[in-house]
Structure formats: structure tokens, C-alpha cells
Amino acid sequence: MDELSERLARLQPLRDRARSDFDQDPYLRDIVERNLEVAAQCCIDVSHRIISLEGARKPVDYYDAILRMGELGVLPADFARHLAPLAGFRNILVHEYVAVDWDEVYGVLGRLEDLDRFAEAIRHWLADRAPSADNSGR
């Protein structure tokens, strides 16, 4: 979660950059691409960890891992379905780097609130499972 927060913090100041800046600056594209890739991977890794902690059925792929978060109630089911394509986006960034769709990358940058919403849902899930001070036996 710390890594996801760090990547989102790096991306936030870039989200309002003009598309022309994005198109003309390969360094800006590289920064955005790499940070989105790592942020997406963080979401996938967190999903796998929670699935494991919950003893839930192992997902068949990364897409399914995010959907499973909706099934477990960690994310609202409709939001999990909305976010699940992030797995395919991550795969393209990792494996199809020659054929990256910069329109899609720029679009995902403009929708960082999805990643923020994921992080917030995970924080709530963790807080709900943390032992409270009242249960500490004192």
C-alpha cells in the first residue's frame, strides 16, 4: 500500500498536464507509463494478498483477482468490474511496450481517482480487521 501511495503521489501532479505536453515529451510519457505500471501491479499484488488472507478461491488471472475483491466485499462489485481491466492495461505496459496505446495511458492518468478509490477501500478493509484497543485485554 505504501508503494501504491508513492506512485499515486508521483502521478497526481501530472494528471492535469495537457495532452500536447504528454505527446511532445517522451520523458513525461516514460514517467507516467512506469508509475501507472507499478501502481497497477500494486493493486494486483494487494488483491492476491487479500485473497490469500481470506482463504478464497485462487484467481485464474490478474483480471479475476480484481473481480474477486468485489466477490469478497473488499470493493463494491460494480467498482471491481470497472477496475478489473486495469490488469490488461498493466499487461500491455509490461509485455507490449512497443505497441503502447498512448491514448489509453493518458486516459488512465486522467482517472487516477479509480486507483485512489481502490486504496481507500483497502485501507477500510484493513481498519475493519485491525484489533481494536478495546479488544487488547487491558
Q: Indicate yes or no: pTM above 0.85.
A: yes
- The contacts of residue 79 (CB under 8 Å, 6+ apart) are 70, 117, 121
CA 115 to chain centre: 5
Reported as a single tens digit per residue, the pLDDT across 16-59 is 999 999 999 999 999 999 999 999 999 999 999 999 999 999 99
Q: What is the DSSP letter of 13?
A: G
Q: What is the DSSP letter of 15?
A: T
Residue ranges of domains in the chain, CATH in brackets: 2-126 (1.20.120.580)
Q: 54, 72 in Cβ contact below 8 A?
A: yes
Reported as a single tens digit per residue, the pLDDT across 87-121 is 999 998 998 766 789 999 999 999 999 999 999 99
